[in-house]
A and B are shown apart, each in its own frame.
Chain A
């Protein structure tokens, strides 16, 4: 209930959802770089797949030669040959 109210308020005041609601923020540069913000934890990391837990579900990055360039508690930069980015969850 509270979440719905919060989402409505953020939408009404046109506030950034990633900051206010902690939604995952994805930036993709070509096929080589993906920058993920607001993720929760790493579920799986392999050469061809990186699976992350976000607030509202799971984020899967498929590709080849995937390297975690750097990561912190809430930010991660992945490089390699990106094939797909999938969001699944609620």
Chain B
């Protein structure tokens, strides 16, 4: 590539050589550093490429080797400029183009992030935008060190940042920490463990506190399951003090959830007709244009746009975009769900509900679903029996406040 550019820059010739001392000429050229390439033997003569400076330097060698060179083609920039010497506007256009590319190379036209998984590109773009780093800014105004330090300080999970300007692109490479940056602190505040739901207790394992219920008991929501107040008695079993601890236990209970979901039986169906349209999209800086033939019948179309940013080299992005707009025609109409569709939809809703429950660590024991429908509405009713952890912390301060409030209210009444 570099050699090709060099040949283009200096100019080169395709020549035909005739005479008797061909090999001598080749050897003389090699000895004098004259570059020849793609040498072909054409029975009576030889044809090859040589550079313009090489051709000029080989005049003496031609005489020595007793050969003649005939120029078949002239190529490269010097010949191009000579041929187009009268076309001043073209030359001006070329110069303007070079100037335009040069001026555009002074700005940033693309920002890319690599290695981020916890923080989205949008979050990082918003951050850099807040710090006056944006698309279209001058490259000289960018301080990569500042960007790196700023990102590390702003996002605690990011441990390593590398910002680099290459061409017209700002690369920000990120490494995130793979371990938790904050170690969860064990809660030691005095508290009781209360029931988060009503149900029947199936499993209990108390680590701290005094159990107030046992396996098989029916409990109500808010009922104390494990008390964090531990009475301290003396040898005569007289109460000396009450030690307050953080009640800690695994308590599982069986309970039932009911859920209902209603949806209209009439729904809109979208059908593709198979007709397609193609349009073109172009954008330069903030100005954009769309080339799409309007539809006189005003039918419904679903459009997708494929956007590409123009670039000269790998990282030399330009502020120009082009894209193809593809439209597919569709029609909509309303109809009732069929029985199969209703069942499928009910299954889908049920699965979603159960999936949500299972994600919370709930063990599903039984599930009963009924589909009830009338003319316009379809109703799904379900009762699901589950086994789940029903313990919930209630700090003693909060509990006392609640009691005091209740007491004041009672007194007031």
Contacts and interface: CB of A to CB of B under 8 A. Distances in A.
B325 to A, nearest CB: 47
A19 to B, nearest CB: 20
Given A71-B30, A72-B30, A73-B30, A45 B37 contact: no
A69 B35 CA distance: 11
Contacts of A71: 26, 30, 36-37, 39
Interface residues of A, number: 15
B23 A45 contact: yes
A73 B31 contact: yes
A67 interface: yes
B26 A42 contact: yes
Nearest to B48: A68
A56 B33 CA distance: 24
Contact of B23 (A42, A72, A73): A42
A66 interface: yes
A70 B29 CA distance: 12
A32 to B, nearest CB: 15
A42 B27 contact: yes
A43 B26 contact: no
B41 interface: yes
Nearest to A77: B37
B149 interface: no
A8 to B, nearest CB: 32
A18 interface: no
State which size class the interface on B falls in.
10 to 19
A45 B39 contact: yes
A67 to B, nearest CB: 5
B22 A45 contact: yes
Given A44-B23, A45-B22, A67 B30 contact: no
Interface in B11-50: 22-23, 26-27, 30-31, 33, 35-43, 46, 48
B7 to A, nearest CB: 12
A70 B35 CA distance: 8
Interface in A58-78: 66-73
A17 interface: no
Contacts of B46: 45
Contacts of A70: 35-38
Contacts of B39: 45, 67-68, 71
B41 to A, nearest CB: 4
A45 B46 CA distance: 10
Interface in A9-47: 41-47
Contacts of B31: 73
Contacts of B43: 47
Given A41-B27, A42-B27, A45-B22, A67 B36 contact: no
A71 to B, nearest CB: 6
Nearest to B28: A41
Interface in B282-303: none
Nearest to B46: A45
A63 B27 CA distance: 22
Nearest to A40: B27
Contacts of A43: 23
A67 B40 CA distance: 5
B41 A47 contact: yes
B19 to A, nearest CB: 13
B23 A66 contact: no
Nearest to B42: A47
Contacts of A66: 41
Interface in B38-94: 38-43, 46, 48
Interface of A: 41-47, 66-73
CB-CB nearest 3 A-B residue pairs: A68-B39, A47-B41, A70-B37
18 contacts: A41-B23, A41-B27, A41-B30, A42-B26, A45-B23, A45-B26, A47-B41, A66-B41, A67-B40, A68-B39, A68-B48, A69-B38, A70-B35, A71-B30, A71-B36, A72-B35, A73-B31, A73-B33
